Structure 1
Amino acid sequence: MDKVMISVAPVASTDKHIVPANIAAEVLQCWQAGAAMVHLHVRDAAGNLTTDMSLLEETLRLIRKDSDIIIEVSTGGVSRLSIQERCVPLYSELVEACSLNVGSTNLGKAVYCNPLDDVEYCIGELLRMNKTPEVEVFEIGHIFAMKEFMEQYDFRAPVLFSIVLGHKGEAPATPQALAAMIQMIPPEALWGITHANRRDFSIIAAALGMGASTVRIGFEDSNYLDAHTTVDSNVPLVEKTARLLKAMDKEPMTPAEARKYFNILSR
């Protein structure tokens, strides 16, 4: 495979000043630099996860007005929201894809709770609303759980897994952990890489060499450009990812190419 989708997750969980126009402007720059998907959460003005879609909808309208980037919104994040409340982005016409979290996990000292009853509710709503799932897996048990769900539910092919490495208390960002996770991915599925708390691009490069179809980059995971340099914009992270792809004889997918390759329904 010589093309890879770059997904940008531009808003850090520590960001306490959510301004739709600023986020949209940066997303547009990331799109111009090679990002084909944007990953966002439903947040209020102070950065807290919420059920109020107003700021997010404003952000998405601004993004869609000037670009064709694929819009993905999370159904997760550590919070006290119920699974019904977490599913509010599924009902937005501007949202094309949503994260699907299929098991509980440690995120540092926090516990990210995804009991199987909640997972099944989210799957049901996601399929009912014809949204494309990106299955976030933090350890091998999550992959096995999703394989069982794939036997029970009629997911549109291909199912996309995102291997998430680097959170304290979960699978480490090592070649050994990456290889073990890849071995568990169903052969008919596709997978990509998310490196939380990243300080360099070594695991991303390793994943690309092992067949990753997607790379997620952005402040939600890390603002490190290299081990000694942080940046105040997501754009240099996307640009570096695009350069890495080209150095490996690959290219960033356009949004249109990604929609076709991952079978994402156009809105």
Structure 2
Amino acid sequence: MRKNVIITCAITGAGDTTKKSPYVPITPEEIANSAIEAAKAGAAIAHIHVRDPQTGQISHDLDLFQEVVERVREADPDVVLNITAGGGGDWIPSEQNPIVGGPGTDMQTPQERHEPVGLLLPEICTLDCGSMNFGDQLYISPTEWLREQARLIQQSGVKPELECFDTGHLRFAKQLIDEGLIDGDPLFQFCLGIPWGADADVETILYMKDKLPENAHWSAFGIGRMQLPIAIQSILLGGNIRVGLEDNLYLDKGVLATNAQLVDKVVSTLNILGVDPMTPQEAREHLGLKNPNGNAETHG
């Protein structure tokens, strides 16, 4: 078990959750404020999606990303920004013609997925490392698209968080490393409990952890009621953790949460275990990130 742990807070996500909880932030101001409050509670990293302010649904609008990033960067306290680059991959075949996307389909090219990263240069961005049956839809990330995205991220100097929703995703992430498309010590995120990906249990964490390169950093999260159990297992096994309203809406059974409350709850758990949350600067140094001014931090 590590003595210092990085907490990521996934602020809003892209799922259809805004009607289920009034605490899921929608506007750029709400998303930025929620990220700031999560940082005050102890999160070192804020994972950012944006939503259409009118509908609350997923958006790829660069102006919305820019407003969130500017608000967070101008605020106190400090927090490391992790922008999604995994949007625009949802495919729902039309009932009339399965080769045509039906209602709910939302597809982007690798270049389009990279646009907010290339424009705003966060310290981290996500790279979803494969396609899968994602609930009742198909998430599409073909291998050549991922190679192109990895090249774009590499050229930007941003550190990719290699998101693995299943074991095959981890295999392909290691292939990207072998091909020289991932610089420095790789950063993996085990995304557990999504139907129909890898299970949210300790056996899965152990399996994925044992397959990592020796110099890898890793984190894990579970969705819904498995958020805190997976966070605890990740801590005990030497990993970092992610909580937040993207993955879970509840503080306790029937009690809706804010992002800050979810972070505070996991910080309280860390205190019981004798573990300290890393500050944003400690996380930068540990992961070898470039700071907001573009300078590389030393690996700690």
- TM-score if structure 1 supplies the norm length? 0.93
Alignment match, 1:36 = 44
Are 2:102 and 1:76 equivalent residues in the alignment? no
> What amino acid sits opposite 1:224 in the alignment?
Y
Name the CA distance, whole Å, in 1 between partners of 2:33 and 2:172. Answer: 38
Aligned-pair identity in percent equals 29
Alignment match, 1:5 = 6
Name the CA distance, whole Å, in 1 between partners of 2:158 and 2:145. Answer: 17
> What amino acid sits opposite 1:113 in the alignment?
I
Alignment match, 1:165 = 192
Q: Go from structure 1 to structure 2 and tell me whether the alpha carbon gap of 1:152 and 1:199 turns closer, same or farther (over 3 Å shift).
A: closer
The offset of 1:154, in angstroms, is: 5.0
> SS at the partner of 2:219?
strand
8 Å contact from structure 1 (residues 200, 224) kept in 2? no
Name the CA distance, whole Å, in 2 between partners of 1:126 and 1:43. Answer: 23
Q: Go from structure 1 to structure 2 and tell me whether the alpha carbon gap of 1:154 and 1:56 turns closer, same or farther (over 3 Å shift).
A: closer
> What amino acid sits opposite 1:129 in the alignment?
S
Are 2:277 and 1:252 equivalent residues in the alignment? yes
> SS at the partner of 1:92?
helix
Are 2:63 and 1:54 equivalent residues in the alignment? yes
Alignment match, 1:186 = 213
Q: Go from structure 1 to structure 2 and tell me whether the alpha carbon gap of 1:50 and 1:261 turns closer, same or farther (over 3 Å shift).
A: same
Alignment match, 2:228 = 201
Matches within 5 A, 1:87-236: 87-93=114-120, 95-199=122-226, 201-212=228-239, 214-226=240-252, 228-236=253-261
Name the CA distance, whole Å, in 2 between partners of 1:41 and 1:207. Answer: 24
Could you list the per-position Cα deviations for residues 194-237 of structure 1 after superposition, in whole angstroms to 9, with x for gaps in the alignment? 2123345222211110110x2111111001223x1432411110
The offset of 1:176, in angstroms, is: 1.5
Are 2:112 and 1:85 equivalent residues in the alignment? yes
8 Å contact from structure 2 (residues 227, 247) kept in 1? no
Name the CA distance, whole Å, in 2 between partners of 1:230 and 1:94. Answer: 36
8 Å contact from structure 1 (residues 42, 89) kept in 2? no
> What amino acid sits opposite 2:5 in the alignment?
V
Name the CA distance, whole Å, in 2 between partners of 1:207 and 1:38. Answer: 18
**Greater RCO, CA 8 A, separation 6+:** 1
> SS at the partner of 1:136?
strand
8 Å contact from structure 1 (residues 137, 161) kept in 2? yes
Name the CA distance, whole Å, in 1 between partners of 2:241 and 2:191. Answer: 11
Q: Go from structure 1 to structure 2 and tell me whether the alpha carbon gap of 1:112 and 1:154 turns closer, same or farther (over 3 Å shift).
A: closer
8 Å contact from structure 2 (residues 12, 50) kept in 1? no
Alignment match, 2:298 = none
Unaligned runs of 5+ in 1: none
Unaligned runs of 5+ in 2: 20-24, 91-105, 293-300
8 Å contact from structure 1 (residues 8, 238) kept in 2? yes
> What amino acid sits opposite 1:249 in the alignment?
G
> SS at the partner of 1:171?
coil
Q: Provide the aligned length of Structure 1 versus Structure 2.
A: 265
Name the CA distance, whole Å, in 1 between partners of 2:134 and 2:225. Answer: 14
- TM-score if structure 2 supplies the norm length? 0.83
214-223 or 71-80: bigger deviation: 71-80
Could you list the per-position Cα deviations for residues 98-118 of structure 1 after superposition, in whole angstroms to 9, with x for gaps in the alignment? 001111122211111110011
Could you list the per-position Cα deviations for residues 14-71 of structure 1 after superposition, in whole angstroms to 9, with x for gaps in the alignment? 2377212222222111111100111112433233434421112111111111132011
Name the CA distance, whole Å, in 2 between partners of 1:72 and 1:64. Answer: 12
Name the CA distance, whole Å, in 2 between partners of 1:142 and 1:180. Answer: 13
> SS at the partner of 2:11?
coil
Q: Go from structure 1 to structure 2 and tell me whether the alpha carbon gap of 1:129 and 1:121 turns closer, same or farther (over 3 Å shift).
A: same
